Amino acid sequence: MYTRIYILRFPKDIVDQPIICQLVKQFDVEFNILKATILPQHEGVMILELRGHRENIKKGLSYLKGLDVKAESIATSIHRDDERCFQCGACTGICPTGALALKRPEMAVIFDAEKCSGCGLCVTVCPVKAMEVSLDRISGFSESAFDVH
């Protein structure tokens, strides 16, 4: 199973259509809406976790692209709050790319943002929510602009 988190931007003329449901119906891709909002100029924006076979996700994204929906991976928006991280190591076992890894002999948990693919698995597994998606780094948004789902 392949998991990725994407930021989707919907043009205003399709913002009220149930397009996302088609990902399940047509492409067998599960989704989880993490955040969603409609901006003042009526562009719709969603942060969406997609789960499924890699090829199906690819097809689903192509479908969205055909509807003029822009999708970008949140890989560059993942960061670690070093004040919260207490080096428990839980994330290192789940990170598929080695972006989170144990450094020996210090046994320190290192986060290498360059290796991060944006799968979001560490965000869900971290017991103190030290791994975060930095919404303020996403152009046009602030945390307060979102309705939490």
CB of 26 to ligand SF4, least distance (A): 26
- Residue whose CB is less far from ligand SF4, 61 or 74: 74
In the numeric block, which tokens belong to residue 15? 């913002």
Q: Is 134 in the site for ligand SF4 (CB under 6 A)?
A: no
Per CB under 6 A, the list member of 38, 90, 101, 145 interacting with ligand SF4 is: 90
Question: Binding to ligand SF4 by residue 7, rule CB under 6 A?
Answer: no
What angle (nearest 5°) sits at the alpha carbon of residue 115, between those of residues 111 and 119?
90
Query: Minimum Å distance from CB 132 to ligand SF4?
Result: 10
Among 37, 73, 117, 124, binds ligand SF4 (CB under 6 A): 117
Residues at the interface with ligand SF4 (CB under 6 A): 78, 80, 85-91, 94-97, 99-100, 109, 116-122, 126, 128, 130-131
